[in-house]
Amino acid sequence: MTSWDLFGDHDPGQRTRLGPQAWVLRGFALPWIDELLPALNRIEAAAPFRHMRTPGGFMMSAALSSCGPLGWTSDRRGYRYSPIDPESGLVWPAMPASFLRLALEAAAAAGFEDFIPDACLINRYLPGARMSLHQDKNERDFHAPIVSVSLGMSATFLFGGHARSDKAARVPLHHGDIAVWGGVDRLRYHGVLPLGETPHPRLGRRRINLTFRKAG
C-alpha cells in the first residue's frame, strides 16, 4: 500500500490513488447534489432506513436501505441480494436516473466504462456508527467495480489488502467524494471508522453512502 499516493490533494477535481484499479474522485458528486438529495428522500419514504442484523445476530450500527432491481439484505440466514424489501414485501424503489448517471460517469472516470449497476445499497451513518473491515463478495462479477458516493459528514475510509490482517490505509472521505475500486482491487477489505461529531452544513449529523454494485 505504501507505494500509492493515499492522501494527495483533497481539492474537488483531484484524485487520490488507492491501488492499481482503485481511486477516490474528489468532489465528483458535488454538481449532482441537488438531484441526488430529493431522490434520496423519495427512496427513504418508500423504503425507510433500518438497522439489519448480521448472521451472527449483531445489529449493524449503520442503518440501511436500497434501490434498484436488487437490494442487499442481512439477517440470521445470511447476507444476500433480493428484489423484495423484506420489511414491506414490495420491490425496492427504482434506481433514480440521476443515481445511475452518476454511477456510470464515476466508473468511467476510474477506468470502468462497461459498468452497469443493478443495486444501490444506501447506508446512513450517525455519529459513532461504523463499518468493520469486510469484503464485498455477495456479487457474481468480481471484476465490476464498487462505486461508493459520500454525502454529508466526513468519514475515515479504511482500505486494506486481500487479507483481513493486512494493514489498512486511512483515507478521508468528504461530501461529494466518490471511491471506485474494481478489477485487481475488487476484493480488498474495507470499512469505515466510527463517525465523528462535526455536522455537515446541509445534511446535519449524518453521513449518507450510496454504494453501487453489479450484483446479479
Gap between the Cα atoms of 52 and 43, Å rounded: 17
Report whether 49 contacts 87 (CB < 8 A).
no
Report whether 209 contacts 60 (CB < 8 A).
no
Q: Are β-strands 146-152 and 155-159 bridged in parallel, bridged antiparallel, or unpaired?
A: unpaired
Angle, vertex CA 152, rays to CA 147 and CA 155, nearest 5: 70
Would you state the pLDDT for residue 10? 57
Would you state the pLDDT for residue 96? 98
Gap between the Cα atoms of 175 and 153, Å rounded: 7
E-strand stretches of the chain: 15-19, 22-25, 63-67, 71-75, 78-82, 119-125, 131-134, 146-152, 155-159, 169-173, 178-181, 190-192, 207-213
Residue with cell 423504503: 47
Cα separations in angstroms, 129 against 13, 121, 141, 191, 213: 28, 16, 29, 11, 22
Burial of 3 (0-12, 13-18, 19+ CB in 10 A): exposed
Report whether 213 contacts 121 (CB < 8 A).
yes
Report whether 66 contacts 59 (CB < 8 A).
no
Q: On the CB side of 59, how many CA atoms lie within 13 Å of its CA?
A: 5
Reduced to 3 states (helix: H, G, I; strand: E, B; else coil), residue 152 is strand
Domains along the chain?
Answer: 16-213 (2.60.120.590)
pLDDT in tens, the chain (216 residues): 333 334 444 567 899 999 999 999 999 999 999 999 999 999 999 999 999 999 888 899 999 999 999 999 999 899 999 999 999 999 999 999 999 999 999 999 999 999 999 999 999 999 999 999 999 999 998 999 999 999 999 999 999 999 999 999 999 999 999 999 999 999 999 999 999 999 999 999 999 999 999 999
